[in-house]
Structure 1
Amino acid sequence: MRPVMLLAVGHACVDIYQGAVAALVPFFVLERSYTYAAVSGIVLAASLLSSVAQPLFGMLTDRWSLPWLLPVSTLLGGTGIALSGLAQSYSWTVFFVALSGIGVAAYHPESARLARIASRGSHTAMGWFSLGGNVGFALAPLLVAALGLSPFLVLPALVGSVLCLPVLRLRGSAGRVAPSGLDDPASFVRLSVAVVCRSITFIGLSTFIALYAQQRGFGGFGGAVALFVLYLGGAVGTVLGGRLANRWGRVAVVRWSYLVSVVAVAGVVFVPGWLFYVFVALTSMGLYVPFSLQVTLGQDYLPGRVGTAGGITLGLTVSVGGLASPVVGGIADAVSLQVALMPLIVMPGVAWWVLRSLREPRL
């Protein structure tokens, strides 16, 4: 269990930098006067490269064991975000954020492979590994609020890269996990569509929810709290997902979570007053209950390509949604932020529809 916990803490250190991109959006808007569309472009820069690179890194880790990627990618992710705060031009800001996205992309497939080896396929242990990433997301807005556009944002990356080292010594030569069944690409594709829908919803909300809270009268601190709740609720959802799956099965739990998320996201967009934060928490749990379950489902649907499966279900879950952020930002600039967030209500419903007849993997 110790290697899994070290990987979980390292995962937290890396995913701080995914959460930091959204947490830096208010700074870029207020201090650099970027438009909604401009900050959406920054989110897109991190997401686009991460989305393209992550499956490629997954294919590489399916062919070769590359444990050295963990410390190197962790440092790259942290350095990119730290330098984006120092860059004065928009172009350099986009470049450094994109560099961080590549680092994050390189980290997830190999870390998911090592976590599968260390956990021996345990859904609960993989839930703890995924929980580390959720905690990193939750800490990101607090860290950014404390440090702002500061080079000290690189500190979690330094910690995470050091924590990787004992795991590499323990598991770096462990070899590959032999496939335990036949690949089921059709089911994996359907699962991946749901992953994309979830990502569009989550990244869209995380990019703009702090600004939306400010527009609704909660102030700058209220915006940071909204983003913190959105991320922290994911930690609860991830742990809850593993326990629910042990009782009712992974696919059933994932389907029902997406149905709950439709109502929760609608509450975030439309319900006034302090209940806004209640629906933010429900949205976070609804979108994160499937998080670790989708990782293990993907690996079981593609047992012969667990690196690729991990890169898509773990990495793209939190990156590909950034491709839609410029659309949301453009609508917000043209009409209003509330109108721009309305399409996000539909996305979990699409995920449910795609998964409505999905079956558990044949093991």
Structure 2
Amino acid sequence: MASLVPFFVTERAYGYAAVSGIVLAASLLSSVAQPVFGVLTDRRAMPWLLPVSTLLGGLGVALSGLGGSYALTLASVAVSGVGVAAYHPESARVARIASRGSHRAMGWFSLGGNLGFALAPLMVAAVVGTGGLRLTPILVLPALVGAVLCLPVLRAAERRTSAATGAVSAAGDDRASFMRLSLAVVCRSVVFVGLSTFVSLYVTERMGGSTAAGTAALFVLYLGGAAGSVLGGALADRWDRVTVSRWSYLLTAGSVAGLLLVPGPALYLFVAVTSAGLYVPFSLQVTLGQDYLPSRVGTASGITLGLTVSIGGLVSPLIGGLADATSLRTALTPLVLLPVLGWLLFRTLPEPAPPPSRSSAGPAPASPQGETHVTFAHVTGDRATSSQEMKAPITTEEHTWTRD
């Protein structure tokens, strides 16, 4: 939807506040519905949601340019938001199972969506830029392709999901850390949605009114995100997720300041660095949320990918209203402070222990009747050495332990 914003401005003369309302419509239902879908997928696997929600999201985008009234545009965008809400929790849950908890694999999973974001401005420019908003129905084609590609894997996804389903105690949930993580994701969301909504218009102003320059900036913003998501998984294999995310937030604060203050074409470099800084922690935050709430993986995914991310859309009308009253640069300046707040929140977060994996060693050999064999390790420094084996003759009256 962010790719269509400049065309709504030029073709329908929408102001900053009006286009912010479009982003709000896409986010509002999504922000409320994603946790609901997360709760549902925690109770029962629903892989069929993947093609259905993909198609619904694309249908809303396709219809957004046809309604002449602002109300119909908002309704179409809301339909797309519901599709997004239904997709994210189930896809994140299935991806976690398929990746077996690998940070690098989750980074590649995020890459697919980020490449779609990067290609969206080019596709919209090619379609809507040549024929106007009346051609938005063509934009449903990627959703159709994505839905069809999901169909052959539905049965395999159901089998793997059923095999991986097990009872996990809620006692292992770290709700306090999850809440702090969610607040940090909110900070990231406001920055990302604010920039994705207004960076094209901002760069257009800075580069002499060139719409192509604005489209290029949006493309760089999304393309940098594609690289950042893969980089985040690789860095998390070397350092922990909390450390990588914390420094990414600090990098983002500096790059947003550069985007707003540095003149000329150099601002594209800061757009790219900002994008990478925002997306390096993207998939890491999803797996962190899932590890903080291991008993509610779908709910955690719905909140980190949905509710917190969508709050950025709720804030964007405030940015648009401030831009109408002052200037776009003034309205975007507070975005510099939010990554700093996210960095401070990450400084208080622990790195959760990885989820326990099933042992492949098989069951322990049976002991002779009347004896219990216990093997333990004696730790000296950073090395563990095996101790002797213990045998325990057991009677009904008392336990007498003897050492061989």
TM category, shorter: over 0.9
Larger RCO: 1 or 2 (CA < 8 Å, sep 6+): 1
Question: Counterparts of 1:335-354 in structure 2 under 5 Å?
Answer: 335-354=326-345
Task: Tell me the amino acid that sits aligned with residue 344 of structure 1.
Answer: L
Is the 1:141–1:228 contact (alpha carbons within 8 Å) kept by the matching residues of 2?
yes
2:250 equivalent to 1:270: no
1:306 aligns with 2:292: no
Q: Provide TM-score, normalisation by structure 1.
A: 0.92
Tell me how far apart the structure 1 counterparts of residues 116 and 257 of structure 2 sit (CA, whole Å).
26
Deviation digits for residues 179-214 of structure 1, max 9, x if unmatched?
388111111111111111000000000000000011
Is 2:119 the partner of 1:139?
yes
1:236–1:296 distance in 2 versus 1, CA, 3 Å: same
Sequence identity, in percent?
Answer: 69
Matches within 5 A, 1:86-235: 86-148=66-128, 149=133, 150-174=136-160, 175=162, 176-178=164-166, 179=168, 182-217=172-207, 219-235=210-226
Which residue number in structure 2 is paired with residue 27 of structure 1? 7
Q: Secondary structure at the match of 1:24?
A: helix
Q: What amino acid does structure 1 have at the position aligned with 2:82?
A: I
Q: How many angstroms apart in 2 are the aligned matches of 1:111 and 1:317? A: 17
Corresponding residue of 1:257: 248
State whether structure 2 residue 57 is matched by structure 1 residue 77.
yes
Q: Secondary structure at the match of 2:280?
A: helix
Alpha-carbon contact 1:82-1:154 (below 8 Å) kept: yes
Tell me the distance in 1 between the aligned counterparts of 2:187 and 2:137: 34
Distance 2:232 2:71 in 1: 40
SS for the counterpart of 1:274 is helix
Name the larger-Rg structure: 2
The amino acid across from 1:189 in the alignment is M
- 1 CA distance for matches of 2:145 and 2:226? 21
The letter of the residue matching 1:171 is A
Match for residue 63 of structure 1? 43
1:251 match: secondary structure: helix
Question: In the TM superposition, what is the alpha-carbon distance from 1:313 to its structure 2 partner?
Answer: 1.7
Deviations 1:56-96 (A, max 9, x none): 10000000111111111111100001001111110000000
Partner amino acid, structure 2, of 1:347: L
The offset of 1:298, in angstroms, is: 0.8
Q: Note if contact 2:183-2:308 (Cα within 8 Å) is conserved in structure 1.
A: no
Q: In the TM superposition, what whole-angstrom CA distance separates every residue of 1:263-298 from its partner, at most 9, and x where no partner exists?
A: 000011111011100000000000000001101111
User: Aligned equivalents of 2:306 and 2:146: distance in 1?
Assistant: 17
- Distance in 1, matches of 2:165 and 2:142, equals 30
Q: Which amino acid aligns with 1:187?
A: S
Q: Kindly indicate whether the alpha-carbon contact (under 8 Å) linking 2:103 and 2:234 is maintained by their aligned counterparts in 1.
A: no
Which whole-Å CA distance do the structure 1 matches of 2:271 and 2:71 have between them? 33
Structure-1 separation of matches of 2:220 and 2:323: 23
Normalising by structure 2, report the TM-score. Answer: 0.83
> 2:31, 2:309 within 8 Å by CA — same for their partners in 1?
no
Using the TM superposition, give the Cα deviation of residue 316 of structure 1 relative to its aligned residue in structure 2, in angstroms.
4.0
Give the aligned length. Answer: 343
Give the AA of the match of 2:316. S
Q: Name structure 2 gaps, 5 residues minimum.
A: 355-404
Does 2:43 align with 1:48? no
**2:55, 2:297 → 1: CA distance?**
24
CA distance in 1, matches of 2:308, 2:347: 19
1:361 maps to 2:352: yes
Q: After superposing the two structures, state which structure 1 stretch, 282-291 or 210-219, moved more.
A: 210-219
CA displacement, residues 132-154 of structure 1 (integer Å, 9 cap, x when unaligned) = 11111111111111111221000
- Calculate the aligned-residue CA RMSD, in Å: 1.2
Q: Is the 8 A contact 2:32 2:307 kept in 1?
A: no
Q: 1:195, 1:316 within 8 Å by CA — same for their partners in 2?
A: no
**Residues 325-345 of structure 1: CA distance to partner in whole angstroms, max 9, x if unpaired?**
000000000000000000111
> 2:231 is matched by which residue type in structure 1?
L
- Residue type of the alignment partner of 1:164: C
The amino acid that maps onto 1:173 is R
Distance, in Å, in 1 between the alignment partners of 2:195 and 2:74 is 20
Segments of 5+ residues of structure 1 without an aligned counterpart are 1-20
* Aligned mates of 1:37, 1:309 — CA distance in 2: 32
Asked if the contact 2:31/2:308 (under 8 Å) is kept, the reply is no
CA distance in 2, matches of 1:151, 1:233: 28
Give, in whole Å, the separation in 1 of the partners of 2:51 and 2:310: 20
